[in-house]
Structure 1
Amino acid sequence: MTPEAERVKLARSACLPCRKSKRRCDKKTPICDLCSKKEIQCIYPARHGGNQTQLTAQGPVDWMSDFPSTSHHSPNDEGRNTSLSFSSFVESDASAIYFLAPSVFQQTRLELPRLHLPISFDLSSLIGNASSVRIIAIKYFLTIHRWLPIVFKRGFFSSLLNPVAQRQTELGLLILCMKLCCTGPSEDGQTDTELYRIAKKLHHAAESTGPLSIPVLQAGILIAVYELGHAVYPAAYLTVGACARYGLALRIDRLSLELEDEAGTPRLWNELEERRRIWWAVLMLDRFLSLSNPSRPLSTEHPTFDTYLPVDDSAWDDGTAKPADVVSISTGFTLKMGSFARLAQATYLVSQALRSLSPAPLECDLPQTDQTAQLRRTLLSLVHAADRESAVRRLEFCAQSEFSLRLCKNATHFSKAPS
């Protein structure tokens, strides 16, 4: 053994990042070669029964250091390209198997590859340091999240605090879109179009080159919300359509209450609820875009009377919601539904209004005028129920009431033009 090798102390076990990514660790301290090359924090577990703390590489490492940046290349890049060619081939196969045969993907215990954006942007430079990310997140959860709660707050902040969490690139893209969605016009009325263009470009790259991912879909929904709020048409219509296809590919359009997916993979209850809320957001945006032109085809199927509603928003944010709290549209008549569940109910009624105007009307024995009158009464009942719940629970309701009242006031949605 050379004198240089003798001076290198080896840990007894692999570091946590190498364990997480299932890579061979050389156990060098204070930082292994893989963590050094990837420029991420190297953490070794403490010995069992001892008083040692976790061994960490010297120097503070930001949690965003794992974000890829293709704006510069090291001299060793060419040598690594050859060694990574086979692994890249296997990773592309894993993504295809996950989409085409999820059961085979589960049985063979494959893993989805990490997202590498082929764009010369340093993602961390767009969203700032850890303190800036926290400010963006707090602003988002105090504004957009209050009426469109599609991101599980506890899970989101847990990912921020986990230095070895995977999917950091997708998480960074989601944070960037949170920042975009919370960015309003300047004093002169101009919007930050540069940030919007960058977010669109990065999101398109994530859709095209990366594996299917919930944060990527959430980022797309936030981009659509920004486009709707700033009247960026027809981009908003196209973005919502792309989100619908992405959600169908993720198979979140027909979620049951089972805590296992089609491949038998166990999933947490909060993750299941998050996916249900994401799909309801896609349904809502898809129908909102059709209010001004009901003849425009939708990108999603209409929800049914047995479709499950989101649980109460407060319970979900607190992490106290459970599967027993879920109700379907047909049984959602309590005064403790939550704002987003009311918005989902309004979305269902919008679907009924749009179906009544379609060439194939609803199967109902009532005449068209009676169907329209019944639908109007149901919409007004939903508005009154939302008002009662807001008074009892001191909640802020507006999105679902606006949805319902807009239909009630627009006569073209309740009567067909004379032939």
Structure 2
Amino acid sequence: MFWLKTRIIEGEGSLKALSKEVRGYERVLILSSSSMKRHGFLSEAEDYVREAGAEVFSITGLPAEPSVETVEELLPKLREEFQPDLLVALGGGSVIDTAKALKVFYDAPELNFEEIAFIDRFSKPKPVPKLKTPLIAIPSTSGAGSEVSAASVLKKGDAKYNIVSPEIAPEVAILDPRLPRTMPREVARNSGLDVLVHGIEAYTTKAANPFSDAMAIKAIKTVYKWLPLSVKGDEEARAKVHYAATMAGIAFLNARLGLAHAMSHKAAWIGPHGLLNAIFIPYVMEFNAERSEYARKRYAEIARELGFKTTKDLIEVVRELNEMLGVPRLRDLVDEETFMAKLDEMAEKAYRDGLIAFNPVEPKPEEIRELYLKAFHGE
């Protein structure tokens, strides 16, 4: 099965489509990252909303990581002060994920986070009921794919949980390439590598289908060709990678993701998500290819699309891209003592991650532990 709930508006200056999209609504709440305020895109968006005749409220300066605590803090404002009939998320994946979670608890105040969150693949959360407040997502970074996905990743305490429901997939995504051109070099690199891993993992899961494959391959080829230029700030390259991020989002919305993501979710305390994915993916590909003919076949197909031949070639190409872009080793990000102290817990939690069910191979906790160690030592 293949589905996509989100209508996608793309192109240079497409932020102005907001004035048409908000027509007919009365009270619009924009959740924005600080960088979008700083670069003037928030005030531009506010102007479009006013132009359409709606009242606009804005919340900026959200924390870098979406959390249940942030959502609980903001909810009274939504319910008592703003009472919006439309939500707009303007920023990176974390802003969009926060807006999705706010939508759930704003529309369904009787819900309890623990009831609907996926704590691990062995938990059975309650389904999210029908929600009424529409959400428009306007991504400013090119990686998470949250503008089309049906998931919101939230931290509670030290752990990350997922809310997964078609109800939280945005109704509209606006992809204006002017926004990601403001990304610092490192953010462009890390988020672009996240797109590559989304494409590779979505193409090789047990749930992949011909339609998700088309999106995944296009995203992989685009990132492989354009990411080095995007990191240097090339304007055309930034636009290409921005669209590729959404294509990869559509791919994993349908085909899901695999072991590299499960590992990076549980190692989130070490560094940025996209960077961790880039570090883990070559080790995960080797692991899958050694144990699964299906994985070997799929990796070889990706290799041929990029002009190479074998699974081995693809793993080498991914390693070379990491090197070219200056991706550090895991041991450059965390000291050995701290890492070793958390290793067993990470491996156990990664084993319980919901995405393991979609990986071409089901790993044992001790095999995941071994992969973390290999990545740490750069073997």
Same fold, TM exceeding 0.5?
no
Bigger radius of gyration, 1 or 2? 1
Higher strand share: 2
- Per the normalisation by structure 2, the TM-score is 0.28
- Per the normalisation by structure 1, the TM-score is 0.26
**Which structure ranks higher in relative contact order (CA pairs < 8 Å, sequence separation ≥ 6)?**
2
